[in-house]
Amino acid sequence: MTGKLIQGAAYTGSANIQGGSDITFSDNLGKAKTSTAFGIDVGAMYRPSSWLRLGIVAKDINKPSFDNSAGGQFKLDPQVRGGIAVNPWETLTLTADMDVISNRTLTPGIKSQVLSVGAEQTIFSEMFSLRASAFKNTADANSYITPTAGFGLRLWALRVDVGGGYDFRERGALASGTVAMTF
């Protein structure tokens, strides 16, 4: 079980679009209404053998909410995700996980239920990690499979991870990186 403090910045606005180019939505968002809420996540993992792990997590089970500038509130609905990890040998991990229930999005009529699959191969006593994966929103028939890849470096207590992917429908890349010290 994990408790978390979440700060949300909610924007409320609208824009009429008649066509054209160089449309900027940010001009119509207005000022952010910032508020803080407390969230609760609960999870469990079961390891029936040394090469197999099963897990499930329920996020935001207390439905934290945030104020918006129009006087209303945005509420985070609970999300449940389950997964499996298989280690066919010590240096390779194969994973699959999926949202157990479909999730409401901020876009009316669009739901999200993401299926993800991936693999991680470590080399040189886990000094380097190479990752390849993909995900798809199975609740949206128009969604594409998004491939992702990444690598990690571990030197003593230092950990560096970089990952990215490409969304073919939006024709855009996504990327993330972390630098951490473990003690």
The 10s digit of each residue's pLDDT in 154-176 is: 999 999 999 999 988 778 898 99
Question: Looking at the domain assignment, is residue 176 inside a domain?
Answer: yes
| pLDDT, tens digit, 9 for 90 and up, residues 111-127 | 899 999 999 999 998 89
CB distance 100 to 80 below 8 Å: yes
Q: 58 and 127 share a domain?
A: no
Total domains in the chain come to 2
Residues 99 and 72 in one domain: no
Residues 52 and 135 in one domain: no
Q: What is the DSSP letter of 156?
A: T
The model's pTM: 0.77
Residue type, 80: V
Backbone angles phi, psi at 58, to 5 degrees: -115, 120
**End of a domain among 77, 107, 124?**
77
Residue 85 domain-assigned (yes or no): no
Q: Which residue has the tokens 């229930």?
A: 101
- The answer on 134 and 106 residing in a single domain is yes
Distance CA 105, CA 114 (A): 12
Would you say 99 and 112 are in contact if contact means Cβ atoms under 8 Å apart? yes
Structural domain including 139 reads: 90-183
> Are residues 96 and 39 located together in one domain of the fold?
no
What pLDDT is stored for residue 27 in this prediction?
A: 59
One domain, residues 47 and 133: no
Last residue of a domain, one of 77, 110, 125: 77
- Kindly state whether residues 111 and 183 are assigned to the same domain: yes
